[in-house]
Amino acid sequence: MKNILLILFIFLIGCTKPELPLPEVLANDNIFSVPESTVTNGQSIYFDLPSTGVYTLTMRDKETNQVISREKFNGQVGENIKKIYINSIQSQYLYLSIEDVTKNELKKTIIILKK
Protein backbone atom coordinates (compact mmCIF):
# COMPACT_ATOMS: atom_id res chain seq x y z
CA MET A 1 0.00 0.00 0.00
CA LYS A 2 2.85 2.39 0.88
CA ASN A 3 4.51 1.64 -2.48
CA ILE A 4 1.32 2.52 -4.37
CA LEU A 5 0.97 5.81 -2.46
CA LEU A 6 4.62 6.62 -3.09
CA ILE A 7 4.26 5.90 -6.82
CA LEU A 8 1.09 8.05 -6.99
CA PHE A 9 2.86 10.89 -5.16
CA ILE A 10 5.84 10.76 -7.55
CA PHE A 11 3.46 10.60 -10.51
CA LEU A 12 1.55 13.70 -9.30
CA ILE A 13 4.74 15.69 -8.74
CA GLY A 14 6.09 14.64 -12.13
CA CYS A 15 2.92 15.81 -13.88
CA THR A 16 2.97 19.39 -12.60
CA LYS A 17 4.23 22.08 -14.94
CA PRO A 18 7.57 23.61 -14.01
CA GLU A 19 7.44 27.31 -13.15
CA LEU A 20 9.58 28.99 -15.78
CA PRO A 21 10.31 32.72 -15.68
CA LEU A 22 8.50 34.65 -18.37
CA PRO A 23 10.73 36.37 -20.90
CA GLU A 24 10.85 40.15 -20.81
CA VAL A 25 8.38 41.41 -23.39
CA LEU A 26 9.27 44.80 -24.80
CA ALA A 27 7.90 46.75 -27.68
CA ASN A 28 9.94 46.15 -30.78
CA ASP A 29 9.27 49.66 -32.05
CA ASN A 30 11.80 52.18 -33.24
CA ILE A 31 12.46 54.48 -30.26
CA PHE A 32 12.99 57.44 -32.58
CA SER A 33 9.60 56.96 -34.30
CA VAL A 34 7.77 58.63 -31.39
CA PRO A 35 8.43 62.03 -29.77
CA GLU A 36 8.90 60.55 -26.29
CA SER A 37 9.22 57.12 -24.66
CA THR A 38 9.37 55.73 -21.14
CA VAL A 39 12.34 53.45 -20.42
CA THR A 40 13.41 51.29 -17.48
CA ASN A 41 16.84 50.11 -16.39
CA GLY A 42 18.29 47.44 -18.66
CA GLN A 43 15.65 47.92 -21.33
CA SER A 44 16.54 47.20 -24.94
CA ILE A 45 15.89 49.98 -27.42
CA TYR A 46 15.51 49.47 -31.14
CA PHE A 47 16.36 51.91 -33.90
CA ASP A 48 17.08 51.88 -37.63
CA LEU A 49 20.26 53.15 -39.25
CA PRO A 50 20.65 54.16 -42.91
CA SER A 51 24.07 52.57 -43.43
CA THR A 52 26.83 50.58 -41.79
CA GLY A 53 29.35 52.71 -39.93
CA VAL A 54 30.39 54.32 -36.66
CA TYR A 55 27.60 56.08 -34.74
CA THR A 56 27.31 57.83 -31.38
CA LEU A 57 24.33 57.41 -29.06
CA THR A 58 24.10 60.36 -26.66
CA MET A 59 21.89 61.04 -23.64
CA ARG A 60 21.59 64.68 -22.51
CA ASP A 61 19.73 66.23 -19.59
CA LYS A 62 16.65 67.95 -20.99
CA GLU A 63 16.90 70.98 -18.68
CA THR A 64 20.65 71.68 -18.69
CA ASN A 65 21.61 70.03 -22.01
CA GLN A 66 24.55 68.43 -20.15
CA VAL A 67 25.84 65.15 -21.60
CA ILE A 68 24.93 62.27 -19.28
CA SER A 69 26.12 59.38 -21.42
CA ARG A 70 27.79 58.91 -24.79
CA GLU A 71 28.48 55.60 -26.51
CA LYS A 72 30.29 55.12 -29.80
CA PHE A 73 29.44 51.88 -31.62
CA ASN A 74 29.58 50.16 -34.99
CA GLY A 75 26.08 50.21 -36.43
CA GLN A 76 24.63 48.01 -39.13
CA VAL A 77 22.18 48.85 -41.90
CA GLY A 78 18.61 48.43 -40.66
CA GLU A 79 17.54 47.54 -37.12
CA ASN A 80 20.03 47.89 -34.27
CA ILE A 81 19.53 47.06 -30.59
CA LYS A 82 21.13 48.68 -27.55
CA LYS A 83 20.46 48.37 -23.82
CA ILE A 84 19.97 51.43 -21.63
CA TYR A 85 21.13 51.42 -18.00
CA ILE A 86 19.71 54.29 -15.94
CA ASN A 87 20.13 53.43 -12.24
CA SER A 88 22.81 56.07 -11.61
CA ILE A 89 21.13 58.88 -13.58
CA GLN A 90 19.52 61.59 -11.43
CA SER A 91 17.49 63.34 -14.16
CA GLN A 92 14.08 62.08 -15.14
CA TYR A 93 13.80 63.58 -18.63
CA LEU A 94 16.58 63.13 -21.20
CA TYR A 95 17.19 63.76 -24.87
CA LEU A 96 18.37 60.65 -26.69
CA SER A 97 20.09 61.36 -29.99
CA ILE A 98 22.08 59.45 -32.56
CA GLU A 99 24.87 60.99 -34.62
CA ASP A 100 26.98 59.68 -37.46
CA VAL A 101 30.78 59.85 -37.61
CA THR A 102 30.69 63.42 -38.98
CA LYS A 103 28.65 64.62 -35.94
CA ASN A 104 25.45 65.05 -37.98
CA GLU A 105 22.47 64.44 -35.70
CA LEU A 106 20.31 61.84 -37.45
CA LYS A 107 17.48 61.38 -34.95
CA LYS A 108 16.42 62.74 -31.58
CA THR A 109 13.72 61.87 -29.04
CA ILE A 110 12.84 62.44 -25.39
CA ILE A 111 13.07 59.55 -22.93
CA ILE A 112 11.41 59.50 -19.52
CA LEU A 113 13.24 57.41 -16.94
CA LYS A 114 11.07 55.07 -14.89
CA LYS A 115 12.98 53.80 -11.88
Pick left, alpha or beta for residue 11 (phi over 0 → left; psi -120 to 50 → alpha; otherwise beta).
alpha
Average the pLDDT over 9-29 and give the result.
61
Domain coverage including residue 96 = 28-113
The count of domains in the chain is: 1
Q: Please report whether residue 88 resides in a domain.
A: yes
Q: Please report whether residue 9 resides in a domain.
A: no
Q: Please report whether residue 83 resides in a domain.
A: yes
Q: Please report whether residue 13 resides in a domain.
A: no
pLDDT tens readout for residues 33-51: 999 999 999 999 999 999 9
Q: Is the pTM of this model over 0.75?
A: no
Q: Please report whether residue 75 resides in a domain.
A: yes
Return d(Cα 102, Cα 88) in angstroms, integer. 29
Look at 24 and 103; give whichever has higher pLDDT: 103
Q: Please report whether residue 73 resides in a domain.
A: yes
Return d(Cα 29, Cα 52) in angstroms, integer. 20
pLDDT tens readout for residues 52-90: 999 999 999 999 999 999 999 999 999 999 999 999 888
Average the pLDDT over 12-30 and give the result.
61
Q: Please report whether residue 19 resides in a domain.
A: no
pLDDT at residue 11 in the model: 67
CATH number for the domain harbouring residue 86: 2.60.40.3870
Q: Please report whether residue 7 resides in a domain.
A: no
Average the pLDDT over 18-32 and give the result.
64
Return d(Cα 15, Cα 17) in angstroms, integer. 6
Return d(Cα 97, Cα 45) in angstroms, integer. 12
